Each structure stands twice: as C-alpha cells, then as structure tokens.
C-alpha cells in the first residue's frame, strides 16, 4: 500500500507538473512584446453583454488615425461595410489574453480624467503658475535607427558648452523664467495633476475655456508622489487617492515643493481645438478609451477589460480602444481608464486602482 501510495503521489506530481508547463506555453505576436494566449470570444467574460455598438462607433472614430498603421488598414476599411457590431468584431479579430513575465494574467488598472483649472493669459498674484509650451532649447534625440533598443526611451536634452546634457528636471524648470507659457493657473497642485492626466481645460478669467493637451516631456523618469507619501506612511488618515493627496497637502503645504520635486518628470502642453486628446490624436471618449504601454498594446487596437470601479465597486467588463499613453503606464498588463470630465470623473479616477485582465483583439489580416 505504501509503495502504491508513493507511485500515486509521483504520478500526480508529474501530471500536475505537465499541466502547469502546458499552461505556461505562451504565444508571441508581432504587434506586442507581451506573452499572450489565444482565446475564443465566448471565453471573454461579459463580451456579448457589453454595448458593442458603442464600442464599434468608438473604434471607427479612432480609425481616422489608426488607419495609417499597417495593422489597421484593412480592418478599418472593412468597418465601413458592417452594421452589426458583434459580427464585425467576431469576424475580423482574434482575441488574445495578455500575460506578464511571471505568467500572470492580472495587472494594475488606474484611472484618469480631464481636469478643469482656473487661469489667465496674464500672470498675477492669483494666476502665477505657468502651463508651459515645449521649450525651444529642448533637443529631442532619436537614435533608434542605430540603436533599436533605445526606441522606447525618451531622450531629451539641451546644449551646454557644446555638449548635449540631460534636459532640466522639474525643480530646475520651475525656477526658470525664460520659457513660454500658454497661460497661468491659480493652483500649483492642480497644475501637477494636470500633468499627470496629460490634458485638460482651463477656464480663463475672461470666461473663455481653452483645451490643452500633452505636447512633450522633459525626458526624466516619472515618480508617483502617491507612492512616495504611502512609503512614508503619511497617507493613512487621508486615503491613498488623489483626493487624499490633496487633503494631505492642504494640511501640510510646507511639504509641497519637497514632494513634487521628487518627481523629476515634467510635461509640456499645446493648445488644442478639441477636448481631451490621446496619443492617437483623436478626442477621447469617456469609458471607452484607455491609456496603455504601446510596447505591449498598439494604439488603435480594441482591448476588452475586466476589472471594477474602486469607488463604486461596480464590475467593468467592457470593450475599449487603446488611444493614449502615459509616463506612469508601463508594463504588459497596465492600463489607465479614461473617466471623462466632471466631479464624478475626478472622484472615480482619483480612487481607481484595481487588478484587471486585458484581452487584445488582433485584426485577422
């Protein structure tokens, strides 16, 4: 009996080991550096229950820019022939679940929104914090032709004594007075969060509302101030959200410079004719567009997300389109959910941090 039990245990271990090995066999796609596994549409939780006609309209809208990529040329043309959204997606795409390097299919999902700031074209005691355009002295360095491995890095510099050096960090930029502003705003922390969001609106003292969007970045690595404060253990009574961070600085304004300067990354903006615009170049749709890491998820591709709203605890099973990027959005299973504008959007985005699964729909062509 003991011998049989031993044999049984060995057999079970071997069988289990083979099963795990089989589970860890991933595919690689030309469109993504992530590990992926092909699934059927029936295996995507909530796919057929979603508002697919709305997702189809967003995809067609984003095709205005995505069609320039070879991956989408054929499928964007085919989209014009379909009236049934479900048939369009199931006939023309193959779903692949994303996995990280550890073989896990869950990653971090956060949220962002379009903030509204108060500002003026003229600097004053009230409006004194500048929203800068891309500096004229910043050099954008692209060595990808010679060093393809550098393609994903932001190389930004400036000339100093005949040499190219790293461009100024946040602290150095804040101390300059020779850069060109779009306008000035009345709240420095709100300006910082505008840089985190990447786009927003400014209501000027004339009553005019202007749209501004991401133009460039100074090349320094992004560091989340929320994580810095969490690591210090000072957010316990305020909460680990954007609202909690604001409450902390309301109570501790003397620390604002110290903490903000730890994030050396700085975003420059340009004035836009339309609302929140993603990296794809199309106006974003609340609840239907995502910011992603384009190393793993191409811009323009449909992505089905399974997660939940951290604030309301409601499930989110939804087909979206990858249309934006972000300095903090790095990794195979990493996405930023666009909540739109308004008070609720700010609350949802500020509190959003959940585990989620991402399934990309790859065009069959």
Query: Rounded distance, CA 187 to CA 165, Å?
Result: 31
N- to C-terminal Cα separation, the chain: 58
**Higher pLDDT among residues 174 and 7, named by residue:** 174
Tell me the whole-structure pTM to 2 decimals: 0.78
255-311 pLDDT, tens digit per residue, is 999 999 999 999 999 999 888 888 998 999 999 999 999 999 999 999 999 999 999
Q: What pLDDT, on a 0 to 100 scale, did the predictor assign at position 311?
A: 95
Q: What pLDDT, on a 0 to 100 scale, did the predictor assign at position 155?
A: 87
142-151: average pLDDT: 79
With beta carbons less than 8 A apart as the criterion, state whether 252 and 361 touch. Answer: no
54-83: average pLDDT: 96
Q: What pLDDT, on a 0 to 100 scale, did the predictor assign at position 135?
A: 98
- Angle at which helix 52-66 crosses helix 70-78, to 10 degrees, equals 130
Both structure tokens of 77: 């043309």
| Region of poorest pLDDT, from 102-111, 138-147, 196-205 | 138-147
322-350 pLDDT, tens digit per residue, is 999 987 899 999 999 999 998 899 999 99
Question: At 20, which helix (H) or strand (E)?
Answer: helix 2-23
Question: How would DSSP label each residue in 49-97?
Answer: TS-HHHHHHHHHHHHHHHTTSHHHHHHHHHGGG-S-HHHHHHHHEEEEE
Average pLDDT value for the chain: 91
Query: Rounded distance, CA 12 to CA 215, Å?
Result: 58
- The band of 315, judged by pLDDT with boundaries at 50, 70 and 90, is very high
176-196 pLDDT, tens digit per residue, is 999 999 999 999 999 999 999
Both structure tokens of 162: 């005949």
**Domain segments of the chain: what residues?**
227-259
Query: Rounded distance, CA 102 to CA 79, Å?
Result: 36
Q: What pLDDT, on a 0 to 100 scale, did the predictor assign at position 152?
A: 66
**pLDDT(15) > 60:** no
């Amino acid at each position: 009996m003991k011998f049989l039990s031993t044999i049984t245990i060995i057999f079970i271990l071997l069988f289990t080991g083979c099963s795990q090995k089989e589970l860890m066999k991933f595919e690689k796609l030309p469109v993504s550096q992530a590990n992926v596994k092909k699934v059927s549409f029936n295996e995507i939780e909530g796919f057929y229950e979603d508002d697919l006609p709305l997702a189809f309209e967003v995809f067609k809208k984003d095709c205005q820019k995505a069609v320039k990529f070879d991956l989408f040329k054929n499928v964007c043309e085919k989209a014009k022939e379909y009236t049934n959204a479900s048939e369009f997606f199931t006939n023309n795409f193959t779903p692949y679940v994303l996995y990280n390097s550890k073989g896990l299919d869950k990653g971090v999902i956060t949220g962002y929104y379009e903030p509204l700031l108060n500002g003026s074209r003229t600097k004053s005691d009230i409006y004194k914090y500048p929203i800068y355009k891309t500096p004229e002295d910043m050099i954008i360095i692209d060595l990808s032709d010679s060093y393809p491995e550098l393609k994903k890095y932001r190389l930004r510099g400036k000339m100093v004594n005949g040499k190219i050096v790293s461009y100024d960090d946040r602290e150095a930029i804040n101390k300059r007075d020779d850069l060109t502003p779009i306008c000035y705003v009345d709240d420095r922390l709100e300006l910082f969060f505008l840089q985190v969001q990447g786009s927003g609106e400014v209501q000027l003292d004339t009553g005019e509302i202007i749209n501004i969007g991401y133009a460039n970045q100074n090349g320094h690595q992004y560091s989340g101030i929320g994580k810095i404060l969490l690591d210090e253990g000072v957010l316990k009574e305020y909460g680990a959200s954007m609202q909690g961070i604001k409450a902390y600085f309301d109570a501790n304004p003397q620390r604002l410079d110290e903490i903000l300067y730890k994030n050396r990354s700085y975003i420059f903006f340009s004035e836009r004719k339309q609302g929140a615009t993603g990296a794809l170049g199309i106006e974003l749709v609340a609840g239907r567009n995502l910011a992603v890491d384009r190393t793993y998820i191409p811009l323009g591709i449909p992505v089905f997300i399974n997660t939940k709203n951290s604030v309301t605890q409601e499930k989110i099973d939804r087909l979206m389109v990858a249309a934006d990027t972000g300095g903090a959005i790095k990794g195979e299973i990493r996405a930023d959910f666009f909540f739109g504008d308004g008070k609720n959007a700010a609350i949802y985005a500020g509190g959003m941090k959940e585990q989620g699964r991402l399934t990309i729909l790859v065009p069959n062509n």
